[in-house]
Each structure stands twice: as structure tokens, then as C-alpha cells.
């Protein structure tokens, strides 16, 4: 992104010593006569800054020497500065994952030194890389951690925090939050074309064309004569004129965006190029210009291949390697236990058949054989109960990663507001000593407000943990009033995050359509949650299997909806996977029947789900078409 690169150049030029104005020859002479001390480290780092701004690999030679000397001297500050310079060099010149690696190495060193300004910069670097590689939720996590600190310290990077939050909340389609942070950034950086155009883009997504045009006219007024917009701004301007049905103007700005973004090979620039090409394809199609339309269609296909070849895999490996290894071990253990229990059950069934044969052939030993049969049946029930419990624990294991991700947000809020309250109470004590009671009352109000927020997010974390505990417990059979929409939405997100942590290549689009008139209904929440979790896992599995076929323009999608009709509640889980064959659709609710490969399914999920729904006085049905997808319907009584 153009603005981020400019920001990084600003960092190099201003924050990490005034390298732009330093004479490289003078630095080389100073290096030649310097001793192996901390001053030599700073000279090496300053030389690295100078060469980094010129785009030369010599910068890495000097940072490597600076890092090595800092370690020998145990000079933490020097090592952190050299690591940060390396991170910035890699980011500016295209290797963002490598840059993020060095930023993550520098961060704990700055934290140890309590260097708040550089702590904020490290987290911003990490969040920018996550944004570039299309991981907005993770980027938001990092930003929410540092934004309260930037506010407290009145950091010059606060505007960048707000802008980056605005962009990532837009990617997440949380438009209200995105607009709040975009407007805050606008008050701090009123002449930033990227942020102003981002606000305009937000208004377009909210179908507020007049408000969008107001902000985009500001961009034109500030930068129009210079013509140095970012490709992002050109794309937004094209979209504005497209919505106003001014096709020629839309084509003009889309071409500008396409030309601007093709000057850069970074992932974010490729995405902007793809957006511009998509807009141009639609515009030329609308004008009936087939040759131009085909050109940009081919460009889109090539761009997708280019995006696929970026360094996202390195980034995922860096973030999730340790978590994935742990998850794989747990999954392998559960699968092994399932296989052992299935074989045990088959062995017991074999013994049962043998005993039946003996009873048939030896009538005189009937009484003795009956006792053996009774004992065998008891063992069979025990083994079956263990297998069912294993199925429940396996589903809990699949939820673990999703729950860990969901619980992190409220915990971050609790920690941040607790830190803020600590600072406010210190200020209150100073105000009391000065007998400034007006300020004391204001601070007390702020502390009370923060405590309410801590309480709210604490209860959110408590609700997630409670749901996890309920899922792992054996059902008590007690029904209780439950918000079915909230239950369906929460387990959809947890199931998706759990599968994402287990398989980093897995992706799917989730859509919901909930009937808000349903309200609470009396159900056994942990039992219905298990039914939903099983249906979600099956839906995601089906879409993932189809995506492996590499069908052009296929987008894995799972749609969950609820509807109240008369005295019944309907819950639908729909996917666009490969569907179920007509030959086996009548068998899917039978125990131990599964279409998954050996070791990936026991065949108990749908059978147990069918029994749970039936015990609630409802029905579980399926509609499916081969190669198009499946839709499962849960029908429950409203009262």
C-alpha cells in the first residue's frame, strides 16, 4: 500500500536517527575508527538506514553485523533497532512475511526496554502485514492491543492505528466500527487521501452515495492537481461513478487504478489491480466492448494465479506452526482411540454372534449361556456409551481452537481497560492531593465506565467458557430457555475457527439469515449444540472436498437460517458441496454409516443428531442434489 510505504520511509527518516541527512562517507570513516562498543552498533544501524532508503542490500549486511555485536555486548536497545531496520527493509521491498518475522523478534526486546513508541510501531508492522495477506481478524487483535496505549501516550502513530482499524473492520464487513475509526483518523490526519477515500468507500458499501461523494470530492480538492492518488483511491472513485451510472468516468478511474497498482508486485497492489480489472470487465461488458472485456477477464485470471503464489503460506506458518502441531497431535490421538473402540465394538459383536450360535446348538446349556449373553450385552452397552462420549469429546477438540480465538477479544478488552483504570486511579490520587475535586469526579466517572466495559467483556468470556463446559458435560436432560439464533451463530463461528486452525488451507464463506421473532425456546442447549456442530462440520467438510476439485469460480459457502412458522421452528444448514448420492441418501442416519475415509468418521454423528432432535419432539431431514449441495432441516416445536 502506497501510504504504508510512505509511513515506513518516514520511520526510517525520522524515528530511527536522521539517516537521510547523514553522509555515508562520514559514517564509513566513523565506523573504521570505532571500537567494538554500543556506539559502533548505532553507527552500523545508521548506515543500514541510509542504504535501506537507497534500496541497497548493503543495509542487511550492516544490520546483521549490528545484531551480532549487540548480542556480544548484551546491548538490547541496539539489537532491537537493527532488527526493526531489517523488518522495515524487507517490508518496503516486498518480503512482508520476512519483515514480520524480524518485527516479532524486535517486539519483546522493545517491551523489555519499555520503549512504548517502538512497541506501537512493531505491532503496526505486524498488523499491516496481516492486512496485506487478508487476515483482518488477526490484524484487529494486534491493533486493539496497542490503540489504548497510543491514546494514553498521545502517540504520533495513533492516526495510523485508527486508519488500519478502519480498513480491517471494512474487510470484516463490520462497517459501523470501521466508520467510527475512519472518522477518528480523519480528525488526526485530515489530508490523508488513503483514509479519506476509505471513508468514501465505507459510505458506498453502506449505500450512502451522497456522503461518499462528499469525501471523495475532498480527495480531489486536495490532490487533484498533483494526480498522485493511491490505486485504492482510484478504485473507490471508479466505484462511485459506476454507482452514479457515469460509465466513462468510472472507466477512466478504473484504468488509473489498474495502471497505478501494476507498478508494484506486492500482495496488496495485486489485490487492487484485480479489483480494477474486475470493474473494467463489468464496465466494458456493459458498453458491449467484447475485446476489452475479454482482455480484463484474462487479466483477472492471471492475477488470481499471482495472488495464489504470494508468501501467505510463510505468514501462516509463522503464526500457527506451534498451534497446528499441537492440534495434529490431539487429533491423531482421538482418531486412534476411535479406531480402538470401533475394533473393540466389532470384537464384542463377533463374540455375541458366536454365543448365539452356541445357544442354538446347545439347548441343554441354555441357562448358563443366557448369563453369558447378559454379561456380553452389558459390555456392549458400556462400549457403545464410551464411543458416544468419545464422539462428543472429539467435537470438543475441534471447537478448542475456535474457542481460544473467540475468547481472546474479550480478554484483550479486559486487560486494556484494567491498565487504563490503573493509570486513571494514579491520576485520581494526584488530583485528591491537589484538592481538584472536579477532576476527581471526572476520573471517577471514567473509571466507572471502564469497569462496566470490563464487566461486559468478562461476562462475554464467561459465556464462551460456560458454553464449552456445557458442551463437554454429559446432558442432564433438563430443558431451559435458550436463544436459538445466538446458539446457532456462536457454534458456526467456533466450528469454522476450529477447522481453520486444524487445516490452514481451509476457507469457506459463512452466511446467516436469522428470524429475530423466534425469541427463547425450551431446549437442552448442549444437545442441540452438538447437533448443530455435527451439521456444520459435515457442511464445511463437503465444501472443502469440492474445492479440492479446483472448479473455476467455485466459492465454498455455508448458509445457516432460522424461521418460525406457526407452532414450529425450522433451522436450516445449507452447503454448496458435492451433495449426497441418491443411492445412499436413505442410509445417512443409520449408525456407523459414513462416506468419509477410514479414520475420519465413525458414522455416529448424524445418527446421534437424529435421536437428539427426535427426543425434542422434532424431525431431522435432508434435501440434496448431486454436484450442487445439501440442505439439512431441523424442525422443533415452538413451545
Q: Are 251 and 232 in contact (CB under 8 A)?
A: no
Distances (CA, A) of 139 to 129, 146, 377, 441, 497: 8, 11, 55, 36, 16
Show the CA angle centred on residue 298, arms to residues 281 and 234, nearest 5°: 45
What is the mean pLDDT of the segment spanning 616-636? 91
Query: Rounded CA gap, 296 and 293, in Å?
Result: 5
Please give the domain boundaries of the chain with CATH numbers for all domains: 1-133 (1.25.40.10), 314-472 (no CATH), 480-637 (3.30.565.10)
DSSP string for residues in 185-229: HHHH-TT-HHHHHHHHHHHHHTT-HHHHHHHHHHHHHHHTTTT--
Highest mean pLDDT (candidates 112-116, 274-278, 391-395): 112-116
Cell readout for 545 is 472436498
Q: How many CA atoms lie within 13 A of 469 on its CB side?
A: 6
Q: How confident is the model over 17-39, as pLDDT tens digits?
A: 343 444 688 888 888 888 888 88
| pLDDT surpasses 60 at 590 | yes
Q: What is the length of the chain?
A: 639
H/E stretch holding 7 reads helix 2-10
* Percent of residues in the chain assigned helix, strand, coil, to nearest 5: 75, 5, 20
Query: Rounded CA gap, 138 and 597, in Å?
Result: 33
Strands 520-523 and 480-483: antiparallel
Q: Are 495 and 399 in contact (CB under 8 A)?
A: yes
Query: What is the pLDDT at residue 319?
Result: 56
DSSP letter assigned to residue 623: E
Query: Rounded CA gap, 118 and 285, in Å?
Result: 49
Q: Going along 378-437, which residue ranges are E strands?
A: none
| pLDDT surpasses 60 at 142 | yes
pLDDT band at 576 (very low <50, low <70, confident <90, very high): very high
Q: How confident is the model over 500-514, as pLDDT tens digits?
A: 777 778 888 999 999
Q: How confident is the model over 475-506, as pLDDT tens digits?
A: 556 888 989 999 899 888 888 877 777 777 88
Distances (CA, A) of 494 to 20, 137, 403, 510: 49, 14, 6, 12
Highest mean pLDDT (candidates 10-14, 359-363, 507-511): 507-511
Query: What is the pLDDT at residue 9?
Result: 45
The model's pTM is 0.45
What is the mean pLDDT of the segment spanning 219-235? 70
Q: Are 616 and 524 in contact (CB under 8 A)?
A: yes
Q: How confident is the model over 57-79, as pLDDT tens digits?
A: 788 888 888 899 989 999 999 89
pLDDT band at 269 (very low <50, low <70, confident <90, very high): low
Q: Are 582 and 626 in contact (CB under 8 A)?
A: yes
| pLDDT surpasses 80 at 392 | no
Query: Rounded CA gap, 137 and 408, in Å?
Result: 11
Q: Name the nearest CA neighbour of 124 among 180, 80, 168.
A: 168
User: Beta partners for 574?
Assistant: 559, 631
Query: What is the pLDDT at residue 88?
Result: 83
Least confident span in 247-256, 294-303, 411-420: 294-303
Q: What is the mean pLDDT of the chain?
A: 77
**Reduced 3-state DSSP string for 260-324:** HHCCCCCHHHHHHHHHHHHHHHHHHHHHCCHHHHHHHHHHHHHHHHHHHCCCHHHHHHHHHHHHH
Q: How confident is the model over 176-216, as pLDDT tens digits?
A: 998 899 899 888 888 887 788 888 888 888 888 888 888 88
Query: Rounded CA gap, 474 and 482, in Å?
Result: 18
Distances (CA, A) of 395 to 80, 135, 336, 400, 541: 43, 25, 15, 9, 14
Query: What is the pLDDT at residue 41?
Result: 87
Query: Rounded CA gap, 471 and 594, in Å?
Result: 23
Q: How confident is the model over 301-323, as pLDDT tens digits?
A: 665 555 444 445 455 555 544 34
Query: Rounded CA gap, 304 and 60, in Å?
Result: 32
Torsion of CA 371, 375, 376, 378, to 10 degrees: 140
H/E stretch holding 512 reads strand 509-513
Q: Are 40 and 78 in contact (CB under 8 A)?
A: no
Query: What is the pLDDT at residue 209?
Result: 85
CB-based burial label for 12 (10 Å; 0-12, 13-18, 19+): buried
Q: Higher confidence at residue 590 or residue 565?
A: 565
Query: Rounded CA gap, 121 and 107, in Å?
Result: 9
Query: What is the pLDDT at residue 127?
Result: 86
Q: Higher confidence at residue 240 or residue 639?
A: 240
Locate all alpha helices (DSSP H) within 511-601, ordered by sequence.
525-547
Locate all alpha helices (DSSP H) within 93-135, ordered by sequence.
96-113, 116-132
Amino acid at each position: 500500500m502506497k501510504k504504508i510505504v510512505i509511513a515506513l520511509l518516514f520511520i526510517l527518516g525520522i524515528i530511527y536517527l536522521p539517516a537521510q541527512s547523514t553522509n555515508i562517507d562520514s559514517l564509513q570513516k566513523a565506523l573504521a575508527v570505532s571500537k567494538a562498543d554500543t556506539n559502533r552498533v548505532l553507527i552500523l544501524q545508521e548506515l543500514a538506514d541510509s542504504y535501506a532508503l537507497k534500496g541497497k542490500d548493503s543495509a542487511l549486511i550492516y544490520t546483521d553485523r549490528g545484531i551480532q555485536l549487540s548480542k556480544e555486548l548484551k546491548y538490547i536497545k541496539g539489537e532491537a533497532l537493527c532488527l526493526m531496520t531489517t523488518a522495515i527493509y524487507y517490508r518496503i521491498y516486498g518480503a512482508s512475511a520476512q519483515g514480520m518475522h524480524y518485527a516479532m523478534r524486535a517486539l519483546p526486546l522493545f517491551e523489555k526496554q519499555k520503549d512504548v513508541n517502538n512497541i506501537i510501531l512493531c505491532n503496526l508492522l505486524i498488523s499491516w502485514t496481516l492486512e496485506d495477506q487478508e487476515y483482518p481478524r488477526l490484524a484487529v487483535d494486534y491493533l486493539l492491543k496497542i490503540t489504548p496505549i497510543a491514546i494514553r501516550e498521545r502517540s504520533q502513530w495513533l492516526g495510523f492505528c485508527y486508519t488500519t482499524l478502519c480498513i480491517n473492520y471494512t474487510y470484516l464487513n463490520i462497517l459501523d466500527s470501521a466508520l467510527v475509526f475512519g472518522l477518528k483518523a480523519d480528525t488526526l490526519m485530515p489530508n490523508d487521501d488513503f483514509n479519506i477515500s476509505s471513508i468514501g468507500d465505507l459510505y458506498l458499501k453502506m449505500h450512502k452515495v451522497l456522503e461518499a461523494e462528499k469525501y471523495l470530492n475532498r480527495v480531489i480538492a486536495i490532490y487533484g492537481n498533483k494526480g498522485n492518488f493511491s490505486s485504492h483511491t482510484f478504485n473507490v472513485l471508479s466505484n462511485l461513478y459506476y454507482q452514479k451510472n457515469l460509465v466513462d468516468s468510472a472507466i477512466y478511474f478504473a484504468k488509473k487504478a489498474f495502471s497505478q497498482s501494476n507498478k508494484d508486485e506486492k500482495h496488496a497492489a495485486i489485490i487492487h489491480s484485480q479489483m480494477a480489472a474486475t470493474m473494467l470487465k463489468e464496465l466494458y461488458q456493459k458498453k458491449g466492448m467484447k475485446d476489452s472485456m475479454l482482455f480484463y477477464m484474462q487479466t483477472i485470471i492471471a492475477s488470481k494465479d499471482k495472488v495464489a503464489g504470494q508468501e501467505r503460506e510463510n505468514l501462516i506458518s509463522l503464526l500457527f506452526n506451534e498451534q497446528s502441531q499441537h492440534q495434529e497431535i490431539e487429533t491423531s490421538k482421538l482418531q486412534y482411540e476411535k479406531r480402538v473402540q470401533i475394533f473393540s465394538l466389532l470384537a464384542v459383536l463377533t463374540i455375541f454372534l458366536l454365543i448365539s450360535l452356541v445357544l442354538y446348538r446347545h439347548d441343554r446349556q441354555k441357562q448358563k449361556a443366557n448369563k453369558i449373553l447378559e454379561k456380553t450385552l452389558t459390555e456392549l452397552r458400556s462400549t457403545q456409551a464410551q464411543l458416544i462420549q468419545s464422539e462428543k469429546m472429539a467435537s470438543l477438540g475441534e471447537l478448542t481452537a475456535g474457542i481460544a480465538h473467540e475468547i481472546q477479544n474479550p480478554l484483550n478488552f479486559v486487560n486494556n481497560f484494567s491498565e487504563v483504570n490503573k493509570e486513571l486511579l494514579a491520576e485520581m490520587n494526584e488530583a485528591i492531593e491537589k484538592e481538584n475535586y472536579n477532576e476527581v469526579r471526572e476520573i471517577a466517572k471514567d473509571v466507572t465506565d471502564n469497569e462496566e466495559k470490563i464487566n461486559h467483556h468478562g461476562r462475554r468470556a464467561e459465556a464462551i467458557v460456560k458454553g464449552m463446559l456445557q458442551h463437554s458435560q454429559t446432558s442432564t436432560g433438563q430443558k431451559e430457555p435458550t436463544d436459538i439464533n445466538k446458539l446457532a451463530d456462536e457454534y458456526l463461528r467456533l466450528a469454522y475457527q476450529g477447522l481453520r486452525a486444524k487445516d490452514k488451507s481451509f476457507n469457506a464463506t459463512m452466511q446467516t439469515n436469522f428470524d429475530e421473532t423466534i425469541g427463547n425456546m425450551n431446549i437442552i442447549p448442549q444437545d442441540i449444540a452438538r447437533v448443530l456442530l455435527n451439521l456444520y462440520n459435515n457442511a464445511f467438510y463437503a465444501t472443502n472436498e469440492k474445492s479440492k476439485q479446483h472448479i473455476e469460480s467455485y466459492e465454498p459457502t455455508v448458509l445457516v437460517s432460522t424461521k418460525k412458522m406457526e407452532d414450529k421452528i425450522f433451522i436450516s444448514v445449507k452447503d454448496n458441496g458435492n451433495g449426497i448420492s441418491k443411492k445412499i441418501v436413505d442410509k445417512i442416519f443409520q449408525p456407523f454409516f459414513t462416506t468419509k475415509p477410514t479414520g475420519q468418521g465413525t458414522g455416529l454423528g448424524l445418527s446421534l443428531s437424529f435421536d437428539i432432535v427426535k427426543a425434542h419432539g422434532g424431525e431431522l431431514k435432508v434435501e440434496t442434489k448431486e454436484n450442487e449441495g445439501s440442505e439439512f432441516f431441523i424442525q422443533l416445536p415452538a413451545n
